[in-house]
Structure 1
Amino acid sequence: MLGGAATGAALGVLAAFLGEVRAPGGLLLGLIGAAGLAGAFAPSRRVLFVGAGLISLLVSLCLLTPALRLPLQALSVSQPPQRADAIVVLGGGVQCGTRALEASSLTRLVRGLELWRAGYAPTITVSEQSDVFSATCPKMSVIEREYIRALYPQGGPQVVTLHNVTTTRDEAARVRDLAAARGWARVLLVTTPSHSRRARGIFEAQGVEVISATASETRYDPTLPLPSDRLYALRAVLYEGLSRLKEELGGTPER
């Protein structure tokens, strides 16, 4: 039972990191308990240890070799910027306690402002997250608007908020409605590279013509020179894979 519980704890830590689980404490306790129970009986103990061993081998392959380069390339699509009606900066998250934009949110916003300064579009959209995960968390759109005002007290871009969004599908639906109301023919879509191909597909499914103008990757070096880079790349690949599976199964209903 102790061996099973230890294996469950290791799997829980791995799942909490690689899966970007929002409640890792509960997951960890559940896996420790379930694996400890499995370790008490010989048949389930064999299944547990063989399964954990296979997972360890796969993770080691990803950490010790650049095997993830091709999957990352398949997830990314980046196009030269073109004149458009708006720059859509997809949300990447916010730290609730510190009221700071997560790195992906900030780098996307910076990229959007670069495109605006270069004259590609007069309008930038920012996303206001819904209260699904935290009703007390500061709104990402408010922080981004403050950031833009601090940089450009006067003469800044026109900023439009996509209200109450939970998923990329929600953001695409909001932009679809804005495009119909304002006569937008094309938008520049700004997100992180590993999210770009899926995001473009979601927007195109809503009938929105997009040019994928990706932001810089901040979590890892895409050439994957170090095991730490490969670990974060594995996280991105798994996240995108699970997100695609969720979409195939119906996804999160639009709010």
Structure 2
Amino acid sequence: MHFDLALVLFWLKKLVAAFVLPPLLPLVLTGAGLLLLGRHRRLGLGLAWSGMAVGLLLTTPLTVGWLLAPLEPGRVVDAAEARTAQAIVILGGGRRHDAAEFGGDTVNRLTLERLRYGARLARELQLPVLVSGGAPTGEVPEAALMSQALREDFGIATRWLEGASRDTRDNARHSAEQLRASGVSRIVLVTHAAHMRRAQAEFEAQGFQVVAAPTAWLGRGPGAAEGDPPWPSLPSQNAAYAGWYAVHEWMGLLAYRLTR
């Protein structure tokens, strides 16, 4: 059997991320603190209370909003700027496995949000579309599922499919090969607002001029009134999800900076 070091590292990264992201991170801290109470009471109490504090902070709209603010762009795509691009690139955000109502795997809600906005831009701008998303476990590439959804649900044809990527950096590297071969150097990039900072940096590192087209703000979006919180001030399930996403992106930015 062929040993794929890149695949091993990919899953190792996923395993590590599971323990440093919520909801496991607060639970790990609290659990470790409780286990240490007998022999190291002060350290145990500190860890246990830290876990509870982290869990609370990552589900509270105010603190989650602070985490999101530097990640999410402060404006929607500039239409005039977008018309100067040569292609639209839509990044995958995951799949739904064994969706019975669709007869098998399909795109998940994150990818669907990106596809919906990408389809709207494709109709408005009349630009060709590249979809990017791989298949780390060897199934049908996410890009193929994205192309199918664009065609069947939105009536948009896909010119390029990039199905070899495992992460955002791969999205940029492998997409660059196809786009350069077609003479494309300026793109409209579609992904979630919280993901845009990392994604745009990776495509610019490949030499592209990027027109950012963010969608689905998790924090206070461009249309929010000044001072309005993104959600009710008490901890909520929406804030918990947004907190997970924000920490995920900050960890991704740190990892890419260390491995640049």
TM-score w.r.t. length of structure 2: 0.73
Q: Please, which runs of 5 or more residues in structure 2 have no aligned partner?
A: 1-16, 100-104, 222-229
Match of 1:113 in 2: 119
CA distance in 2, matches of 1:87, 1:214: 12
Match of 2:146 in 1: 144
- The DSSP-based 3-state class of the residue aligned with 1:191 is strand
1:4-23 matches, within 5 Å, as: 19=21
Q: Please, which runs of 5 or more residues in structure 1 have no aligned partner?
A: 1-14
Match of 2:88 in 1: 87
The yes-or-no answer on 1:237 pairing with 2:252 is no
CA distance in 2, matches of 1:19, 1:105: 21
Structure-2 change in CA distance of 1:238 and 1:151 (3 Å): closer
- Tell me the alpha carbon deviations over residues 161-205 of structure 1, each in whole angstroms, 9 at most, x when there is no partner: 113101111111123223321111310000001111111111111
**Aligned positions, number:** 223
The yes-or-no answer on 1:129 pairing with 2:134 is yes
- Tell me the alpha carbon deviations over residues 15-58 of structure 1, each in whole angstroms, 9 at most, x when there is no partner: 8598279xx8xx9xxx69x8499437412x53233112023124
Match of 1:182 in 2: 182
- Identical pairs, percent: 28
Q: Which amino acid aligns with 1:39?
A: L
The yes-or-no answer on 1:227 pairing with 2:224 is no
Structure-2 change in CA distance of 1:122 and 1:167 (3 Å): same
Structure-2 change in CA distance of 1:42 and 1:250 (3 Å): same
Structure-2 change in CA distance of 1:100 and 1:163 (3 Å): closer
Match of 2:43 in 1: 47
CA distance in 1, matches of 2:49, 2:33: 16
Structure 1 ranges of 4+ moved more than 3 A: 15-18, 34-41, 61-65, 219-222
Match of 2:203 in 1: 203
Match of 1:5 in 2: none
- The offset of 1:152, in angstroms, is 6.1
- The offset of 1:79, in angstroms, is 3.1
